[in-house]
Structure 1
Amino acid sequence: MSSNSAAALLPSVAAPFYRAVGDEVEVFLAAARRSAPILLKGPTGCGKTRFVEAMAHELGRELITAAGHEDMTSADLVGRFLLKGGETVWVDGPLTRAVREGAICYLDEVVEARQDTTVVIHPLADHRRELPIDRLATTLRAAPGFQLVISYNPGYQSVLKSLKESTRQRFVAIELDFPPVETEIEIVAHEAGIDTATASALVGLGRAIRNLDGSPLREVASTRLLILAGGLVAEGLSPRAAARSAIVRTLSDDADVVRALDELVDAVLPRP
């Protein structure tokens, strides 16, 4: 990352720990210079959110995040009238706040929201850079610095939950994945506060789970889960006990699958 970035204006805020694995930093910064919206694709727990945090710090911009869910409506993003102190007042949603303040708005797992909800971002994600607010009978122009970032996990979504082409083609896409072995070891060791040897063992377990043939798992062991397990080791648990609690029993409730994963833990991780 460039040393003369806007983030230098924020010396009191530590930069989020992030290790690039490709050209994602360069692509993001180039898109930011053009105010182009960004679509992040990648598996759960691979570092999408941390990447956005690091880029917001690099650019010296506020980051406003909203997590998508099946009950999310456009009002959750734009805002609504609420009763406060006997008066009805308008309260901005996260998207409107970001538009007004020139912040980065990160909509995490946006496809989890209803499809009609995502339509509200269309005029912000093209040349107009506008947000219509029907309930206020007004349209906001995005303040300088505003950038829209959305993410989703393409391997997790069903046919009924995918981004429409009319939405996708407004975005610059950046595809992220789990980092290379040595990078992932560095990340786990740093984030969990454990030694490199223990981090290496946990990453080896994670890789073994990801490479299982015919795996019945819906999700694999993410970098996030490996960090959680490492944190338990840092608190005094053995790597095997930590892995069983933070990885195995998180990934499955099926007794046979849990038993098989426990055997893998015993085979990969050192004895207490």
Structure 2
Amino acid sequence: MPTPQRFDVATTFNVKAPKGLEIEGFAEEDHPKVPLRQPYIFRQGLNAVLAFLRDAGGDALLLTGPTGAGKTSLIRQVAARLYWPVQELTCHGRMEFADLLGGFQLLQGETRFVHGPLAVAAREGHLLILNEIDLMDPAELAGLNDIVEGAPLVIAQNGGEVIRPHPKFRVIATGNSAGSGDQTGLYQGVLRQNLAFLDRFRVLQVTYPDPETEQAVLDGEVPDLPTEIAHKLVVVANEVRRLFLGESDGASPQAGELTLTLSTRTLVRWARLTVTFKGAPNPLAYALDQALTARAAAEERTAIHRIAADVLGPLWSGQA
């Protein structure tokens, strides 16, 4: 059985927290399923995640928000610092509940039942992360209802094997919708989920970082990028997001018309490519094309490049 270990919240996550506040994780830092620890600035949602890990109370946790806002990375980096093993997979429309349980495979000339991510997580006390859960058939997801509430997992395919969930077992899902379907038409394949299934979730809304946090992310991820340029890239990203989300200030004709956004993930890609192509005639525009706008419609590419040119000024057409 894994060895429990207590961690001081303030020092473990580099945040302000009451003195003596602790969270229990595991001691086996070399476990192969512990996510890779990376530099990370903890912000919104950390308290909610830690409260859920401390005592799920028969709930699962759903993180919802726009693409690239950091839903999955938040969970991974919390788990990395608590040495909490993770079973992670991305859902899709053809996935079945049986895929989570496992199945028979031919191993060394012998047919054996190999447990799937749900079965392993329940037995060993791992986090089960289901990304893009709103792409999966709600009828298949209903199979999670009982195990989330603490009932034993019964695997009929393996002779009726019964797995009683480990006290540390947690189910965490991410999705671009909150289970009510995609009202924007931007996330193809998103399905409206069953109300009884959603009723078993706590819901945490994750948004893009504030400008100061995002600036710090760029400083850490792309240290060779000049601070002045990094600051302006963040400004561009937030303007594109405002138009994507339809938050018009009445000044822009594109308000609410953009069908793609500049996520934190894409912002870091833009910054890295800008440094990579710093010898190009216009590295910022060239990098932005590769990072995002080459897949945009012509009008949207023009609009986003115009925003970038207005914000970056002489830097846009000069050497970064």
TM-score (norm 2): 0.76
Q: Which residue of 2 aligns with 1:192?
A: 222
Matched, 1:217 2:258: yes
Task: Return closer, same or farther for 1:61/1:112 CA change in 2, 3 Å cut-off.
Answer: same
- Indicate the residue corresponding to 1:120 in structure 2: 143
Unaligned runs of 5+ in 1: none
Q: 1:64 to 1:11 in 2, by over 3 A?
A: closer
Q: Percent identity?
A: 25
Runs of 4+ in 1 over 6 A off after TM superposition: 10-14
Report deviation, 1:228: 0.8
Q: Which sections of structure 2, spanning at least 5 residues, go unmatched?
A: 1-8, 12-21, 184-189, 244-253
Tell me, yes or no, if the aligned pair for 1:82 and 1:89 is still in contact at 8 Å: yes
> Structure 1 residues 139 and 9, CA, compared in 2 at 3 Å: closer, same or farther?
closer
Report the AA paired with residue 83 of structure 1. L
Letter in 2 for 1:132: V
Aligned-partner SS, 1:151? strand
Q: What are the superposed Cα offsets for residues 32-55 of structure 1, whole Å, 9 maximum, x if unpaired?
A: 111342111111100111100122
Answer whether contact 1:188 1:223 (CA < 8 A) is retained.
Answer: no
1:55-74, CA deviations, whole angstroms, 9 ceiling, x for partnerless residues?
Answer: 21233210111101111111
Number of aligned residue pairs: 268
User: 1:19 matched to which residue of 2?
Assistant: 41
- Report the AA paired with residue 196 of structure 2: S
Q: In 2 relative to 1, CA 84–60 (structure 1 residues): closer, same or farther, beyond 3 Å?
A: closer
Contact 1:189/1:230 (CA < 8 Å) preserved in 2?
no
Deviation at 1:11, TM superposition (A): 6.8
Counterpart of 2:202 in structure 1: which amino acid? Answer: V
Is 1:231 matched up with 2:275?
A: no
Partner of 2:287: 242
Output the aligned Cα RMSD: 2.5
Could you say which structure has the greater relative contact order, defined with CA pairs below 8 angstroms and 6 or more residues apart?
1
Per-residue CA distance 1:128-173 (angstroms, 9 max, x = gap): 2x32212121231112311110111118943771232111111121
1:86-106 Cα offsets, whole Å, 9 max, x none, are: 432111111112112111110
On the 8 A contact 1:16/1:50 being kept in 2, the answer is no
One of 51, 73, 86 as aligned partner of 1:30 = 51
Contact persistence 1:40–1:175 (CA under 8 A): yes
Q: Using a 3 Å threshold, how does the CA distance of structure 1 residues 139 and 187 change in structure 2: closer, same or farther?
A: same
Instruction: Specify the code of the residue in structure 1 equivalent to 2:130.
Output: L
Letter in 2 for 1:158: D
